[in-house]
Structure 1
Amino acid sequence: MKNTKYDFESVVDRHNTNSLKWDFFDDDLPMWVADMDFKVAPPIQEAILKRANHPVYGYTVVSDELFDAYINWWDSRYDLKMSRSDMAYSIGVMPSISSMIRCLTEENDEILIQSPVYHVFFYVIKDNNRKVLENQLIYENNEYRIDFDDLDEKLSRVKLMILCNPHNPVGKIWSKEDLERIGKLCKKHDVILISDEIHCDLTDPGVKYNPFEADDYVIRCLSPSKSFNIAGFQSSVVHTTNIELLARIKIQMHIDNSDSCNVFAAAAVMAAYNESEDWLDELREVLYKNKQIVREYLSEELPVVRLVECDATYLLWLDCSALNVASKVLSGFLRQNQGLFLSAGVDFGQNGDKFLRMNIACPERLLREGLDKLKAGVTALNNIKSF
């Protein structure tokens, strides 16, 4: 890696900060939930400290400058044009999706998702008294692809599809051709598409994700929370050129009280998008290096576990099928035996069983510790099974 400007090596003690990752469960090394263990970009911390120095923390409005930060980021980085009139503010992608499920579908409707996929998609559908319909991804030759014949058939049964691009947990950037085929099928069946693009900035160096092009049936969910590790500030936007759809969404989000702005959110988002691009690009180099460390370690030290090829996110999808152990059993054993918390693949859909998800957004020392724990845990499990 070339010379670094920022500190991605120091291990920051996050205990006793009400951290979901480090304080909620009693594990030695949590590598599950999707937040990073790196120090935030300096401009973000400076902006927060500046705002904190003002002694009043009252209700906050969403300024034009905040929307401009979103607009300029996607224009300069991805050549994607957005306007203020096409956007609505929300406290988060999943609250937005929950609101959209309520205003765009009826109870007991089926909603299509592509499993294995972010586990909260399952919850948000079921918790709103809708039904999950899975277009299961095809896993062949260590990578995933879409079953378009199955997608065509199942889109005929739904009003709404939720897409994940880049895809969590398999780390796939959907190609322009894939997105065009999805779009044509959604139009054919008159289906509204929600595109969750929260991981869009976290691609391998030199690689860009493909945004879903704006169209009347497309709603895009965008946020800097994963890219800059600022999920705690709760900021996102919904973007669609369909003004009628946007109006319905705004009403529902207002009813759900999910359209307000955290007092620190504007400062964090504007500092991220306006001043921290070089930090993000260096982060992507670090994550890519970490990915290579995992690939090499598994190849040399633990070949029974295989890294699924990916080009985005800091969440690695590990093929543990050779162990012939259910992912809940394997994940539970690793926690009990080694204090290592990885996500069980079955949480992302039944076709995710025999896989684990590992968060590698951490300093190299923690990553290597996690890999050693993984190896020790698998070795211990195999020794138990051999008796």
Structure 2
Amino acid sequence: MKSILHQTLDRTGTDSVKWDGLERWFRLKSDVLPLWVADIDIRTAPAISEALAARAATGEFGYTLFSREAQRAVSSWYGRRHETEVDPNHVLFSNGVVPGLTQIVEALTETGDGVVIQSPVYPPFHELVTGLGRELFDAPLEQVGGRFEMDFVALEESMRQAKLFLLCSPHNPVGRVWTEEELQRVIELAKRHDVIVVADEIHADLTFPTQRHVALNRLDSNVITVSAPSKAFNIAGLFASYIICPDDVWRKRIIQVQNKHHVLPTPFANTAIVTAYTDPRAERWLDQLRAELEEQADYLVGRIQESLPRLTCFMPEASYLLWVDFAALGLTPDERKKWLQQDVRLFLSPGPPFGISGQTFERINFGTRRAILDEAIERLVRQIGETTQPEGNAFV
């Protein structure tokens, strides 16, 4: 099979958020390389494209229910890939993972209730909690021995004051795949303090071949899982996501919130979920992509360590996001943003929205062709070697 990750695909002029959004939203010129929003510069699995084309050929695009076939496909996938029994009747459609998390928090908590997160974490975790009028409790991750780990003392203290915990597994942006032992401790703490655990597992199916993702609902049948084939198969624009909620009372309350917001799938969402999770060709394609992403991560981390020793990064264990510390350059977040965009000509995801511990970080999306990554590294090398900070503060 030909390389998936290194195919030539020009996404400019396609209304791509990642590529065309730079000019439309930020007024940046086309020579700025976009390594930010979390999708990959590849075509999806051919089996999914074929299935979507066949669905489009029917010419029927009316209001659509979440299909029983899609529910069974999710159940089958968790059984085969994650050794977890999922009742198809417990699977609800959601129009995106972030909307799904928002629907759950709205349904299962009240204004003023506490919700726990672990920063640095995907910015919508912060935004949806505060936007719904819930109180945010942060149990920040710790850097230990070259990787990020959970601070269980801080986590328990936060859970004492909270009703719900949003777990990012695998973690965005630090790239950790949590071990079974770590997840067991999470479950124990949640039970001790009567906290609902909601696991965002959207990056789970991009866990690298050398790692092992543990689905949280394999360890405890009373947790809620939100996921999608969108990251794994690069179909985020189809908004084909789902919620797995075994508790009947919780599920009914989530459905009530969804009905209020008129949550329904498109016909293409059903087709994409079914094909991604049941077509063997799509599954083989995914396994190749996972291997290529691990190879790409290893390459990029090696290049940064060799060519940009002032930057610090840890090898991720899943997906295509690299969390890089620019602290040694001595720039404020605003100075770093201006420098990256205007001088280096790179657009990355800035660290501050991920939490207070992200002040010196940038998230790099390495889900693109090797040539683009090489160009990004060379631009950084040139600028770090030649550029000084504003007001003459030299890089140290």
Work out the CA distance in 2 between the residues paired with 1:356 and 1:206. Answer: 25
Q: Please state whether the residue corresponding to 1:332 is helix, strand or coil.
A: helix
Alpha-carbon contact 2:74-2:88 (below 8 Å) kept: no
* Residue aligning to 2:324: 318
Work out the CA distance in 2 between the residues paired with 1:187 and 1:77. Answer: 27
Do the aligned partners of residues 382 and 273 (structure 1) sit closer, same or farther apart at CA in structure 2, a change above 3 Å counting? Answer: farther
* Residue aligning to 1:52: 56
Do the aligned partners of residues 212 and 360 (structure 1) sit closer, same or farther apart at CA in structure 2, a change above 3 Å counting? Answer: same
Work out the CA distance in 2 between the residues paired with 1:314 and 1:72. Answer: 26
Work out the CA distance in 1 between the residues paired with 2:70 and 2:162. Answer: 35
Q: Map Cα deviations across residues 316-368 of structure 1 (whole Å, 9 max, x no partner).
A: 01122222223443233111113211111111001111111100111111121
Q: CA RMSD in A?
A: 1.7
Work out the CA distance in 1 between the residues paired with 2:235 and 2:84. Answer: 23
| Deviation of the 1:6 alpha carbon | 4.6
Alpha-carbon contact 1:112-1:158 (below 8 Å) kept: yes
Work out the CA distance in 2 between the residues paired with 1:354 and 1:175. Answer: 27
User: Is 1:354–2:336 an aligned residue pair?
Assistant: no
Q: Please state whether the residue corresponding to 2:176 is helix, strand or coil.
A: coil
Give matches, 1:176-195, under 5 Å.
Answer: 176-195=180-199
Amino acid of the residue matched to residue 155 of structure 2? L
Alpha-carbon contact 1:222-1:237 (below 8 Å) kept: yes
Q: Please state whether the residue corresponding to 1:43 is helix, strand or coil.
A: helix
* Residue aligning to 2:375: 369
User: Is 1:379–2:385 an aligned residue pair?
Assistant: yes
Q: Please state whether the residue corresponding to 1:213 is helix, strand or coil.
A: helix
| Deviation of the 1:382 alpha carbon | 4.0
Alpha-carbon contact 1:187-1:217 (below 8 Å) kept: no
User: Is 1:71–2:79 an aligned residue pair?
Assistant: no
User: Is 1:97–2:101 an aligned residue pair?
Assistant: yes
Amino acid of the residue matched to residue 83 of structure 2? D
Q: Please state whether the residue corresponding to 1:139 is helix, strand or coil.
A: strand
Q: Please state whether the residue corresponding to 2:217 is helix, strand or coil.
A: coil
Amino acid of the residue matched to residue 143 of structure 1? R
Work out the CA distance in 2 between the residues paired with 1:324 and 1:142. Answer: 21
* Residue aligning to 1:23: 20
| Deviation of the 1:104 alpha carbon | 1.3
Work out the CA distance in 1 between the residues paired with 2:129 and 2:384. Answer: 34
User: Which runs of 5 or more residues in structure 2 are unaligned?
Assistant: none
Q: Map Cα deviations across residues 247-269 of structure 1 (whole Å, 9 max, x no partner).
A: 111111111222x0112112222
| Aligned with residue 290 of structure 2, among 284, 287, 298 | 284
Question: How does the TM-score come out when normalised to structure 2?
Answer: 0.92
Q: Map Cα deviations across residues 79-119 of structure 1 (whole Å, 9 max, x no partner).
A: 11101122211111111111111121111222110000001
Alpha-carbon contact 1:317-1:357 (below 8 Å) kept: yes
* Residue aligning to 1:116: 120
Amino acid of the residue matched to residue 135 of structure 2? K
> Identity rate of aligned residues, in percent?
35
Q: Please state whether the residue corresponding to 2:72 is helix, strand or coil.
A: helix
Question: How does the TM-score come out when normalised to structure 1?
Answer: 0.94
Q: Please state whether the residue corresponding to 2:243 is helix, strand or coil.
A: strand
